[in-house]
Amino acid sequence: MKKTVSVIIPAYKEEKSIEEVISKIIKELENEINFEIIVIVDKAKDDRTDEIVGNLSKDFAQIKMILRNGKNGVAKAIEDGIKEAKNEIIVIAMADGSEDAHELKKIMNKMDEDFDTVYGNRFLNGAGMKNYPGQKYFFNRICNLVIRLIFKIPSTDITNAAKAYKSEILKEIKITSKGFEVFAELPIKSYLLGYKNITEVAIIHDAGMKNTSKFALRKEGIQYVKTVSYTHLTLPTKA
């Protein structure tokens, strides 16, 4: 039997891509999977993301928007989405369309085999990456290697956002991250809590044309190190 899915989309200043991302997900899933789409929008001045999502929600009952004032961070957005999720599986989708809806559906479909978590892996045979900055790629490989060695998680792409989890797992986790390091925190804590029935599917990832500054990479790297170190030294606590 097909499992029901909650798709969580954090969005901040994504007016250029959000409509296409949501529309593709709906087109890919409708008539096949019982789903809901929870969009957490951080309202920004002179940005129409909330307006676009609001208009879409009038046409599609599956869409629910959580509107927040100011920039509250991707980790808090995901936490709010997890609390709101009603279905058996939770999938986090990026509002910039880094993974196409077809790639996300491959992850969802694999969950029908009753895994705890399905990882979308950008480095398996048959996978691919487009427009990924060289410095970020280098940092990604080092970070994933360190996490794999410390926590013994059998994956080469632990930090990728594109994963599907049983909802009950994420609802147990107390999120301590503030930013994108949440995408390392969730699989690490899930694994440490004993949910080790995981598998991977090869996916295509497109980083788009967004530039990541050296300062942003350094700041992001520091947050990843803090998250990994803290989790290594303390047991993951339930929410």
pLDDT at residue number 19: 98
Residue 191: which of 162, 160, 224, 169 has the closest Cα? 169
What length is written for the chain? 239
Position 132 scores a pLDDT of 83
Partners of residue 9 on adjacent β-strands? 39
Q: Which residues of the chain have pLDDT under 70?
A: 209-221, 225, 230, 232-239
The order of strands in the sheet holding 63-69 is 63-69, 35-43, 5-12, 89-92, 163-166, 117-121, 198-202
- What per-residue confidence (pLDDT) applies to 39? 98
pLDDT of residue 215: 41
Q: Find residue 7's DSSP bridge partners.
A: 37, 91
* Tokens 């980790």 found at: 75
- Helix (H, G, I), strand (E, B), or coil: what is residue 134? helix
| Nearest residue to 164 (alpha-carbon basis) of 29, 27, 23, 64 | 29
DSSP run (H or E) holding 38: strand 35-43
Residue 21: the pLDDT is 97
CA distance 118 to 197: 9
User: CA–CA separation, 26 vs 31, rounded Å?
Assistant: 9
Pairing mode of beta strands 128-130, 204-206:
parallel
Give the global pTM: 0.90
